[in-house]
Amino acid sequence: MATTESTWTPSSWRELPAAQRPEWPDEAALAAVRERLGTLPPLVFAGEARALLASLGEVCEGRAFLLQAGDCVESFRDVSAPAIRERLKVLLQMSAVLAYGAMLPVVRVGRIAGQFAKPRSGPTEIVDGVELPSFRGHIVHSDEPTPEARIPDPERLVHAYYQAASTLNLLRAFTKGGFADLTHVHTWNREFVASSPAGQRYEALADEIERALRFMQAIGIDLTTERTLHEVDVWTSHEGLLLEYEEALTRTDSLTGQPYDCSAHMLWIGDRTRGLGGAHVEFFSGVRNPIGVKLGPSATPDDAVALAERLNPDRVPGRLTFIARMGAAHVREKLPPLLRALRESAIPVVWACDPMHGNLVRTASGRKTRHFDSIMEELQGFFASHREVGTWPGGVHLEFTGEDVTECLGGSEALLEEQLDNRYETLCDPRLNGRQSLDLAFRVAELMRTV
């Protein structure tokens, strides 16, 4: 039974089936960890989640664009300052391209500082010919390919909390401490990116931004006091998959008395856990953060409207983001009926496009990859669907890294299948590299101009 606002509690989800829940070998140890996490400081504040809600409200009404992007899954091994800085640089570059291209504010949300848990299509996977429990993220177990390493360990929830805290700390320092200053727009272009066609196009755009800033200065605008030039907001998000972790970090806001999941500013429910009678929808119906729901090709218009009724009963613009991930082959047929149904329901939602998860393919050698052309094709279908229905294509949801990895095929420099092994480092899904991400941002900015 679904709860109502008056019967919901942070633990009411426990009465319902939680899809994708790992097989914890020791429930008592897990409960003890949940208790410990419950006593630790929140990672974000309710007021910040409300500020993001307000920004997403602007997206909902067609006055801003959402850029949500980051790793498929963050690694416990990779928490270095350079790794965080390089991801941030590409995110800042992409948002500059989108904001300048579309002349609209861009709301930046990272898949970062908590994106540690993965849903999987099957309970087992084959690694080097051996069948093992599927890897579910470092918050659950190690990725080492042995059966012992894959046993879920609740202590990892605590490790995840501290890694999220240190990542968020650095992210706050970078975004508020001068690194994201718009007058540094040139310095975000790294060498391996700058040498590519998209990198050169970015150099030209950065020149134009600098000229615009000098012009503003010339006519007497004091740029030093304009906070928005020197600081940016980069909000955090992750898939709210492990409800023990999310419950433990839920706090009552002292200002409003409302519950907020303080593990991140925004949380989303995955395509595999969005069942209306399930634990995930129950949990997220009660916290007040902005919430996302992934909608794959099996989502019907009725499913989408029922989810919207349940997750946004007060019809708050910005509360709910539907992240469509239909696949390039289905988007033009599957998405318009959902857009129409939501419009008829009059429940406000942000529509974002995840062009990554519906376009996974395997190479003959078994590598998971995605082709840049399929990613673009889904994005084109997403924009075309919105044009057809007359709704606002609110944003994109991407998996990328700042590094020069070789995980996705194609792009303006045509990464080939035989190059995938050069630097294939992801722990789960293939990510766009820095060049491909920037290339994609330019193309999305062009699509936005056609709206």
Q: How far apart are CA 282 and CA 400, in angstroms?
A: 30
The interaxial angle of helices 434-449 and 197-218, nearest 10 deg, is 60
Query: Site for ligand PEP (CB under 6 A): which residue of 136, 325, 334, 370?
Result: 325
**β-strand partners of 396:** 67, 353
Tell me how far, at minimum, the Cβ of 270 lies from ligand PEP, in Å: 3
3-state SS assignment for residue 366: coil
405 touches Co ion by CB under 5 A: no
Burial environment of residue 136 by CB neighbours within 10 A (0 to 12, 13 to 18, 19 or more): buried
Tell me how far, at minimum, the Cβ of 378 lies from Co ion, in Å: 14
Of 179, 208, 165, 192, nearest to 91 by C-alpha is 179
* Nearer Cβ to Co ion (429/439): 429
Report the partner that residue 270 touches, choosing among Co ion, ligand PEP, none (CB closer than 5 to 8 A by kind): ligand PEP
119 touches ligand PEP by CB under 6 A: yes
| Full 3-state SS string of 116-174 | CCCCCCCCEEEECCEEEECCCCCCCCCCCCCCCCCCCCCHHHHHHHHHHHHHHHHHHHH
117 touches ligand PEP by CB under 6 A: no
How far is the CA of 106 from the CAs of 83, 252, 361, in angstroms? 23, 29, 30
**Within 276-305, which residues bind ligand PEP (CB under 6 A)?**
294
Tell me how far, at minimum, the Cβ of 148 lies from ligand PEP, in Å: 26
Q: How far apart are CA 71 and CA 298, in angstroms?
A: 25
* Nearer Cβ to ligand PEP (236/412): 236
370 touches ligand PEP by CB under 6 A: no
72 touches Co ion by CB under 5 A: yes
Burial environment of residue 236 by CB neighbours within 10 A (0 to 12, 13 to 18, 19 or more): buried
3-state SS assignment for residue 17: coil
Report the partner that residue 271 touches, choosing among Co ion, ligand PEP, none (CB closer than 5 to 8 A by kind): ligand PEP
357 touches ligand PEP by CB under 6 A: yes
* Nearer Cβ to Co ion (49/72): 72
* Residues binding ligand PEP: number (CB under 6 A): 9
- CB-nearest residue to ligand PEP: 270
* Nearer Cβ to ligand PEP (246/271): 271
3-state SS assignment for residue 284: helix
Instruction: Say which residues have a Cβ less than 8 Å from residue 285's Cβ, sequence separation at least 6.
Output: 2, 3, 8, 310, 311
Query: Site for Co ion (CB under 5 A): which residue of 143, 429, 438, 443?
Result: 429
Encoded tokens for 143: 């990725």
270 touches ligand PEP by CB under 6 A: yes
3-state SS assignment for residue 60: helix
Tell me how far, at minimum, the Cβ of 73 lies from ligand PEP, in Å: 7
* Nearer Cβ to Co ion (119/337): 119
Stretch (H or E) spanning 88: helix 81-102
Phi, psi of 368 (to 5 degrees): -80, 130
Tell me how far, at minimum, the Cβ of 60 lies from Co ion, in Å: 25
Tell me how far, at minimum, the Cβ of 194 lies from ligand PEP, in Å: 29
445 touches Co ion by CB under 5 A: no
Report the partner that residue 301 touches, choosing among ligand PEP, Co ion, none (CB closer than 5 to 8 A by kind): none
* Nearer Cβ to ligand PEP (156/357): 357
Interacting residue ranges for ligand PEP, rule: CB under 6 A: 72, 119, 239, 270-272, 294, 325, 357
Contacting positions for Co ion (CB under 5 A): 72, 429
